Amino acid sequence: MVAWQVPVSENFPKGLKYSFQYMDADGDTLLRYDNSPYHLDVGRHHRHSPAGEITKLEFTGLPDLIEDFQNEVNEIYEQRTE
């Protein structure tokens, strides 16, 4: 999980850039949250699933986003280790 304070710009209007990624041992993405400006069709704040789906995230602040990501990582981990 990384987050940077960046200058406010068109690409990062809140002055925040982040990327949270959960991967398996082979380096395959199991989950990613980011605010890359390349998927604005689904929203600035979005998630990537292992199947390649990109869906919108509701952004209410960095602490809430971190909590949501950690909860989802825990769910994925539990499913993969049952």
**Which pLDDT tens digit goes with each residue over 32-76?**
999 998 887 898 999 999 888 999 999 999 999 999 999 999 999
Among the listed residues 47, 45, 49, 46, the one whose alpha carbon sits nearest the alpha carbon of residue 76: 49
Distance between CA 52 and CA 8 in Å, rounded? 29
Distance between CA 26 and CA 29 in Å, rounded? 9
- The per-residue pLDDT for 38 is 86
pTM, two decimals, is 0.90
- The per-residue pLDDT for 56 is 95
Q: What are phi and psi of 62, to 5 degrees?
A: -60, -45
- The per-residue pLDDT for 40 is 77
- The per-residue pLDDT for 37 is 87
